[in-house]
Amino acid sequence: MKTKLILLSAGIITSSISFAQTLQDAITKSDNERYQAAAIDFRSLIAKEANKGENYFYYGENFFKNGDLDSANIYYQKGAELNATYPLNYVGLGKVLWYKGNSADAKTNFFKAATLGANKNTEVMRKTAEAYINAENKSLDEAITLLNAAIKIEPKNADNYLLMGDALLEKNPTEGGPAIKQYDKFSELNPKSPKGILRAGKLYQRGRNYQLALDLYKKAQELDPTYAPAYREKAELYHLAGQKANAVESYKKYLELNNSDEARERYAAFVFNNKQYAEAISEIENLQKNGNTSLYLERYLGYSYAELPGKQDTSAYRKGLNAINKFFEKSSKVANFKYVGTDYKYKGVLLSKLGKDSLGIIEMEKAAQIDPKLAGDITNEVAKAYMKSKKYNKAIETYEKKMAGDPKNLTGQDYFEMGRAYYFGPKDFVKSDTCFSKVTQSIPTFATAYFWRGKANVQQDPKNEKWLAKPHYEKALELVKPEERVGSKANVIEACEYLGYYYLTVKDNAKAKEFFTIIKDLDPNNKKQIDFFKSPQGK
């Protein structure tokens, strides 16, 4: 929830005057998520009609829709002061209170609005119902009662049915039929508006009927090519379908229609969720260079640096940690700011990547407490941090906790890391080999796991009495193509030394020569292959 404060003064208003058409034009821009453009129009309207209550209410709504409740409240309050008989500003004040959890005072304002509206102002009913539907502390039965009353008074007002569809869907999320009927009724009464079509598309997307949802988004675009939310929803749908290029293309079309700072903030979050971390960083840093100080930008900048693929220069991780620290610093000054588990997760990841593993683990454990759904992911990050700091016994404890009696809780990667932990930590080579065998069972073509099975079996048979490592090293070398040997050089040399020595032991010099030749090609200075080729067996 944003908490930016906008100072209301004649200077601010008059300096932003433009040639707004009508109040409806400004409302349409707001509905189209063109919040900055709408704000210019609202300021122009207020400058011309300073005592008109609806100008303040809908300007407040522009902030409210954009998640800025404090600024919205300022304009609702100003509107109520300048025009005490206009009811909707009291609805606005009530909405802010309702969203902040103060239901008693919220209802006092709703009642006042209803009284001023003589109980026949359907817009008061709709706006109050909207708060009951969309807030976290929903009151759906009250919303439906209000909307039924509004329909009785004004049966031809399409907005009644749009909100009724929302209320019915929230009341019974698994049953979309009643909501669809309401959205269809909206479109029947207001055939030029894409809102009902978009709502239906979102419903079908929610039910995973992606093709029908996509068709409806396209239909909404055809009906009104300037309706930006349709492009945003289509982008989100393509993202869910894994079509990154189409997702970004749709979002860029959204930005063509709504190229505001707020829209670009949403785009930065979108490309992060689309796993395009470098692009997210570029977008965020450009916004910051242009003066955008949003704490949410700091959040996603920290997230993005943490997620950069491959091994990064530590400067990247320092930038990420600096961003996430700024996010926590700014958000700490916001009353009742709601943190999410990933805030602590990414702070922990960044600390760990900068070598501060103990501090990183503390942050990641906070993340799992806040959001238990992250527990599995967090467990992996914590275990990685323990492995990195060579606290192998702690890593093993972490993986065993994740397993919690069910081996299916561990992935092949988990078993691989746990195998390495047993190998380096307690040096339990039997358990180490068992872990690596789990990996080869789940990923039979993963050569590295066979190399590690070889290592674990070498340790179980230090005098080569049983040659336990032989089948594992042979399988690993079988999986590594000749042109790939350089990429696994150390493992290949280790396996070839072992197998070369085995064939020398069984007097198969020709076979031994094959393995020492591989070593010679990879490392001409390797002492063991040099000694072999100097020996009678190697000549």
Residue 57 has, within 13 A of its CA and on its CB side, a CA count of 23
Do residues 196 and 223 lie in contact, with contact meaning Cβ atoms separated by under 8 Å?
Answer: no
Is 476 part of a structural domain of the chain?
Answer: yes
Q: Running DSSP on this structure, what letter comes out for residue 135? A: S
- Measured CA to CA, the distance from residue 489 to residue 496 in angstroms comes to 10
Q: What is the pLDDT of residues 412-469, one digit of tens each?
A: 888 999 999 999 999 999 999 999 999 999 999 999 999 999 999 999 999 999 999 9
- Classify residue 137: in a domain, yes or no: no
* DSSP per position, 332-371: TTSTT----HHHHHHHHHHHHHTT-HHHHHHHHHHHHHH-
Report phi then psi at 345, rounded to 5.
-60, -50
Q: 259-308, pLDDT tens digit by residue?
A: 888 888 889 989 998 889 999 999 999 999 999 998 999 999 999 999 99
2: β partners = 68
**Side-chain half-sphere of 274: how many Cα atoms within 13 Å?**
27
* Residue pLDDT, tens place only, 476-495: 999 999 999 999 999 999 99
Q: Give me the mean pLDDT over the 509-513 stretch.
A: 95
- Number of C-beta neighbours around residue 56 at 10 A: 29
Residue 520 clears pLDDT 70, i.e. is over it: yes
pLDDT bracket for residue 15 (50, 70, 90): very low
**Which amino acid belongs to residue 264?**
R
3 state SS of 68: strand
- Separation of alpha carbons 175 and 66, rounded Å: 29
Question: Percent of the chain at pLDDT above 90?
Answer: 74
Residues in the chain: 539
Question: Is residue 153's pLDDT more than 80?
Answer: yes
**Would you state the pLDDT for residue 405?**
58
Residue 352 belongs to a domain: no
DSSP code per residue over 413-475: HHHHHHHHHHHHTT--HHHHHHHHHHHHHH-TT-HHHHHHHHHHHHHHSTT-SS-TTHHHHHH
Predicted local distance difference test score (pLDDT) of residue 207: 87
Confidence (pLDDT) at 16: 33
Question: In terms of DSSP H, where are the helices of 119-260?
Answer: 122-134, 140-153, 158-171, 177-189, 195-206, 210-223, 228-240, 244-257
Q: Number of folded domains in the chain?
A: 1
- Nearest-CA neighbor of 34 among 371, 264, 309, 313? 264
CATH of the domain at 527: 1.25.40.10
Q: Which residue range(s) make up the domain with 497?
A: 413-538
Domain assignment present for residue 71? The answer is: no
In a domain, 118, yes or no: no
Copy the structure tokens of residue 303.
Answer: 């997230």
The pLDDT, as a whole number, for residue 403 is 78
pLDDT tens digits for range 362-419: 998 898 888 888 877 788 888 888 898 899 999 998 888 887 756 677 888 889 999 9
pLDDT tens per residue, range 79-95: 999 999 999 999 999 99
User: Cα separation of 38 and 46, whole Å?
Assistant: 12
Decide if 59 is inside a domain: no
Average pLDDT on 180-198 reads 96
Is residue 20 pLDDT above 50, yes or no?
no
Q: Which of 185, 239, 245, 189 is nearest to 217 (CA)?
A: 239
Q: Measured in whole angstroms, how far is the alpha carbon of residue 71 from the centre of its chain?
A: 27
d(CA 401, CA 376): 10
Q: Is the distance from CB of 491 to CB of 448 less than 8 angstroms?
A: yes
Residue 6: per-residue pLDDT: 34
Looking at every residue in the chain, the average pLDDT score rounds to 90
Predicted confidence (pLDDT) per residue in 305-325, tens digit: 999 987 788 999 999 999 999
Bridge-partner residues for 153, per DSSP?
none
With respect to residue 515, please indicate whether it lies within any of the assigned structural domains. Answer: yes
User: Exposed/middle/buried for 106, CB within 10 Å: 0-12, 13-18, 19+?
Assistant: buried
Q: How high is the pLDDT of residue 401?
A: 82
Query: Is the CB of residue 147 less than 8 Å from the CB of residue 108?
Result: no
When pLDDT is averaged across residues 182-186 and rounded to a whole number, the result is 97
pLDDT digits (tens, 9 = 90+) for 51-72: 999 999 999 999 999 888 999 9
Residue 8 has pLDDT above 70, yes or no: no
Q: Is 495 within the bounds of a domain?
A: yes
Compute CA 257 distance to the chain's CA centroid, rounded to the nearest angstrom.
Answer: 24
3-state secondary structure of 22: coil
Closest C-alpha to 459, from 511, 504, 422: 422
| Interior angle at CA 462, CA 442 and CA 536, nearest 5 | 105
What would the two tokens of residue 460 be?
Answer: 């179980």
Q: 3-state DSSP call for residue 480?
A: coil
Residue 434 tokens read as 């068992």
What's the rounded Cα separation, in Å, for the pair 361 and 347? Answer: 10
Side-chain-side CA neighbours of 327 within 13 Å: the count stands at 22
Residue carrying structure tokens 């708060």: 131
